[in-house]
Amino acid sequence: MKKMFIPRWIKAYALFILTNWLVFGLLRVVFMYVYRGALTPEHYHELWKTFYIGAKFDARLACAVAIPLGIYLTVYAFWHKASHIKKVICWLYGFISAAVMLTYCVDFAHYAYISMRVTASVFSYTENALISAQMMWETYPLVWILIGLLVWGTINYFFTKKLLTYTFAQDDKYRWKGNLAWFLTGVLLTGALMFGQISQYPLRWSNAYHSTNNFICNLTLNPVINLVDTYRFAQSKDYDAEQARKYYPEIAKYLQVDHPDAAALNYERSFASSAHPHNYNVVLIFMESLAWNKSSFTNPDLNPTPFTKELADKSILFTNFFTPTSATARAVFATVTGIPDVSNVKTSSRNPLVVDQHVVANALTDYEKYYFIGGSSSWGNIRGILEHNLSNVHMYEEGKYENGHRNDVWGMSDLDLFREANRILEKDQQESGKPFFAIIQTAGYHRPYTIPADNAGFVVDTKLTDEKAKKRSFVSVDEYNSLRLSDHFLREFFRLASQSNYYKNTLFVIFGDHGLAAPESENMPRGYVEWNLINHQVPLILAGPVVKEPRVIKQTASQVDILPTVMGFLGRGYMTRTIGRDALGKQHEPGAFIYAWAQDPHPIGFVQGEYYYQILGTDGKDGLYKFGAPDFNRDLSKEQPERFTHMKNLTLGLYETSKYLLYNNQKPNEADTK
């Protein structure tokens, strides 16, 4: 058998990657040893996952560092005269290696100082360069560090020189065809290592946040990769504590803060357990795009969501319920944390700088916690927000279910998702005997509006025309049928759940993650469309056998209120410092904050009853309107100046407070060791 010929330039490239990968792995071991005091015995079992994911981050960095060398060696493979610039490449890698090691040094010092891995916010120290330089001179052995970096750069200069000398010492005389094949192989393997996992989504920073213990997550991160990942978010870290303080009196009153303190920006409210708290199971169901304007509540003759309407009639229904934004990842963040996602770069779930959040649901210490999604939880980087902040959560995603197959780009069908969630919840509760808190994230009501072959007897409606569909808030008949299918699958879930042992003791919370725009929407008052509130209004339904008094709540409420409302329904004690409030609790001023992130400048507003205040940006045109009235665009600011001023202050105050809280809602210290 003929021995495979591997060109020396490929061997040199592979050896360079391997050597750097081993060095980065060794530095991870050193980091663990130096800061081992933060590692508690109950988290030892997580170390294997930490080093496994960390090794993949290290491989990504090793490949990224090797790319210039790979390009150079490829050029050499096809044009040997490139060997003349060998010294330039050696000097380049002396500099690159020193820069990488400098990042590690800064990272070690940064963690020693504030127990956080280095992020791009470190560049803010350059704003007071002289003070920062003096602090570093007085705190760290800079001379020895500089000498060490010089030595390390020199070592890498000679290491690169040795590799290139080895490569150039023998003329492989390999044909273009062979070199091209090895080049493509190298590109594919490098790309695979940088992608980091066999999944629809690449390895992301959120994969590092697989534990509620901060040290475990910090140990998983690679400092250079983390610096890059956080750069754009550090540039947009634009909260202004003084602006939050400016509106604090009004916001503290609105939130009913226990002990108002403008200087400390204290937003904490604590709620004691009732005399007889309940151990009801809780199932939160994010119904993809279940918009108020598309449902049977506003389209009774089309009746696209008959089961949702039927369920609402025997449940607690909120008819004036709004989401802060119109995006799913933002909806997950707002619901779980209680903070409207006012990020102006991507979404907060994608921001490593705000991954650490206090979550009200963690007060359910005796509950098992679950998250179910038919696709990947790497979508939107929500994995980090949930795994890191929801204590001991069981994450179920595509590939982790016993049954179900990929339906389309969104993963399993919602029907398979509901079936698997029901099966797992019933099985696990029988085994553990504990109550559970579960989140089910549906996704089927999306383009391409796939109707799976296994659909529990769903019948497509062929009578509706596209013309009528568009007039009734739908973009097409296909979308209309997709919403009907979503409702049909929800019915099937309740049919299955009603046969389970857990059903009779369960609170089901059903709501749309956001609304959807529809320019015609003749079934809605025109003001909803013109002020884009159809993008935000969704139903909220509290359902199940534990709901003893069905009723309709017309008071304005927000998506951020969901978890406090659930805790109030259970009668369980909790602490919160975010925007969410118990919508069924003690008397408070109603309202819902709106952040229309998709427009520029971003309109922000506040809904209260029949009134809507909106301002473009924080200093643009603003006004007060009755959005459901025939003259919906008549500005009432001059006619009702007190209401106008109050709603303006609440809008700007909630916006500035939300920006501040994104970075200042960390978990209590004790949560880190759970």
> Rounded to an integer, what distance in angstroms lies between the CA atom of residue 259 and that of residue 264?
11
DSSP 8-state code for residue 532? T
DSSP 3-state of 587: coil
For residue 672, what pLDDT band results from cuts at 50, 70 and 90?
very low
pLDDT of residue 674: 32
Q: Residue 238 pLDDT > 90, yes or no?
A: no
In this structure, of 114-118, 189-193, 235-239, 258-262, the range with the lowest mean pLDDT score is: 235-239
> Rounded to an integer, what distance in angstroms lies between the CA atom of residue 294 and that of residue 312?
15
pLDDT over 70, % of the chain? 94
Rounded to an integer, the average pLDDT of 20-39 is 92
> Rounded to an integer, what distance in angstroms lies between the CA atom of residue 420 and that of residue 400?
10
Task: For 241-673, give the CATH class.
Answer: alpha beta
> Rounded to an integer, what distance in angstroms lies between the CA atom of residue 33 and that of residue 28?
9
Return all residues near 608 (Cβ < 8 A) that are at least 6 apart.
Answer: 556, 589, 590, 591, 592, 647
pLDDT per position as a tens digit, 186-224: 899 999 999 999 888 899 988 898 887 888 998 999 999
pLDDT per position as a tens digit, 372-412: 999 999 888 899 899 999 999 999 999 899 998 899 888 99
pLDDT of residue 673: 33
Rounded to an integer, the average pLDDT of 170-177 is 56
Where does the chain hold its CATH 3.40.720.10 domain(s)?
241-673
Specify whether the CB–CB gap between 286 and 300 falls below 8 A: no
Q: Residue 600 pLDDT > 90, yes or no?
A: no
pLDDT of residue 565: 98
Return all residues near 17 (Cβ < 8 A) that are at least 6 apart.
Answer: 59, 62, 63, 66, 190, 193
By CB atoms closer than 10 A (0-12, 13-18, 19+), residue 402 is exposed
pLDDT of residue 671: 37
Specify whether the CB–CB gap between 521 and 534 falls below 8 A: yes
> Rounded to an integer, what distance in angstroms lies between the CA atom of residue 500 and that of residue 493?
11
- How far is CA 470 from its chain centroid? 32
In this structure, of 52-61, 167-176, 470-479, 572-581, the range with the lowest mean pLDDT score is: 167-176
pTM: 0.84
**438 forms bridges with which residues in the sheet?**
283, 370
> Which one is predicted more confidently, 545 or 75?
545
For residue 4, what pLDDT band results from cuts at 50, 70 and 90?
low
